Structure 1
Amino acid sequence: MTEPREGIEQVSSKFGITPEDYMLPARTEIHMLDINGKLHPAGEQGVEPGHEYPLPSPKVLVDAYEQLVIGRRVNDQNSALVRQGRMAVYPSSHGQEAAQVAAALCLGENDWMFPTYRDTVAVMAKGVAPMEVMAGFRGDWHSGYDPKKYKVSIQSTPLTTQLLHAVGVAHAAKLRGEDTVVLAMCGDGATSEGDFHEALNFAAVFNVPVIFFVQNNQYAISVPLSAQSVAPSLAHKAVGYGMAGERVDGNDLIALLAVLRRAVRLAREGNGPLLVEAHTYRMQAHTNADDATRYREDAEVQAWIAKDPVARMRSYLLDAGLLPDATEARITASAEAVAQTLRDGMNSENTPDPTDLFAHVFSTPTTQLTEQAAMLADELAREEETR
């Protein structure tokens, strides 16, 4: 059993601040771009001592913007494929792409990501091939990709269970002395679950290198945040577990990259887990089975359109001279190529093998399973003979 974490007093002293200042989120939400894509001058971000965020390099920003554009195209293409009947279901992250991209790009080669069902763009940005990601949403029986190969857990549909798994991987990595940080993703609704409490409490007590990344998109399906929590912010929930919390503009790609990269660095250096809340918005319905007009007003949606992360980042890059026509054309073509891959893949017929029902249930099949597999094989053979 690993030793419990060092006291928060020792951790905060490394930064020359009080334990309260270390754990509490900055009094104002961290943002670096305004809604028009203008960079806030230093000193106008409401940044407090101990919460400094350097501007990522131009290359990092252009690469991140490319993933942002691809993510938007993927969301729109997948929504169209659902309407065409080529996919069973798709939980769109349209409007949340900045948080998704930053989540993937803040991690190192040996770091793990534990996504939710809505984090498709993050999984792709982490390097998983588009059709491998979409296999589950198409209705295939498997996740579509090898979690160990990409260090990305399968997308979790049960609410919040992935947080416990993430903490387990981080704990195991620490016991083995591995250089691994784990990013555990969830939504605002997940913070009301018991698994959320258990994951944060264990992570803090045993000082494991995990970042809890809460994408607060204002609704747990149809339940607004005001009916879920009366805390000043979801980031404030971290304090009760003895870990630091931070809140960031979830539609500001630059701020997200800066805050998450800093959080990963702190966790890697042994400063314990952290919670980051990204304040964003789900522009479209929960899934294609949901009617969002029944629980939110159009005026609310329109207000968030003005904060669109893609438009903000494009404006910034254009003003900074980092997005010449050739670069923008290349990025657009790259996004369309991914969309074409999804169209081609989803429009191809997929013929499942019925015997796969028994192939991956137990490492050593039980007698009953073997008998059932034999019965199915016999039925298939007789059916083939009658053709």
Structure 2
Amino acid sequence: MVDETTRNPYDEIDDEGGEQQELYEHFRIDVDKGQGLVRIDKFITSKLESISRSRVQSAADAGNILVNGNAVKSSYKVKPLDSISIVMAYPPREIEIIPQDIPINIVYEDDDVVVVNKEAGMVVHPGHGNYTDTLVNALMYHLRDVPLFKSGDVRPGLVHRIDKNTSGILVIAKTEFAMNHLARQFFDRTTKRRYVALVWGDMEEDEGTVDAHIGRSPRDRMKMHVFPEGDDGKHAITHWKVLERLGYVTVVECRLETGRTHQIRVHMEYIRHPIFNDDRYGGDSIVKGTTFTKYKQFIQNCFSICPRHALHAKSLGFVHPTTGKEMFFESDIPNDMVQVIERWKTYTAARFSEE
């Protein structure tokens, strides 16, 4: 029996993707009691559609095929009643992706991985009729001599992603082995991912955790939605901590355990602290504050300075696929968010001095 327990579908919510949503597939296969001995790479290839034997072997090399909880090589002989678990990066999709000489901020690169600090406004990967000016188009040009980026895959090397209008750190694999190795880390939740967000309202506590399932909204297919009872959607956990209180808004750090589509944005809306200027989840209107015209103009000015949701993927930590070393990368908060935060500091200081 094949169980696609945590497979991410290709029909994403939109071209923005999701905050650090993982781009891998997870399968579980329970072997029949009458199964004869056969190599596991051959067995898996016969059970799963559109997966080549070489991809299975690459997954095994990265330690991503487990039998009864233990990693096995591709030469392992499947036995009756074995329980097989497989984590693999998404399969290639045959489509022509145009390499484009687009400037990207590469903060680290070696033979196995490249780490990018993505600007807000750039879509991570092509899709839904948007096949140019994405991060993948830029990488296809920059890494044009790397075999993985000649494969015709619409998402070469991607194992996670962030929204179009979210800025920050992404890691991209340059080899099939690195891609599988990183996919496993995201699946096992061993990566360290931190965001900085400006949210509406003054948080009641200094820190907290949102543990609430997320799934596609039943009312609006372009949005995600929290299912409090946990009967629908997928398990999602976001830890948050206050960095700075600015009266009607708060600067928070969010630490992800899971990587669901729009996770931070949905969870912040759920706890009634939507992200500042988030047009999809209720942050693009005045949520907290006064009714004075001067205040309304102040907010509109802030929206103009930061014309996107104020969310930045500040840091990412992972284990290097080849060296086994812990890697950690951090990026500065972008200028649009910095300017808005500074304006809020000035406004708050003036407000309290009047009081």
TM-score normalised by L of structure 1:
0.24
Query: Which one scores higher on RCO, CA 8 angstroms, separation ≥ 6?
Result: 1
TM-score normalised by L of structure 2:
0.25
Normalized per residue, the structure richer in helix is: 1
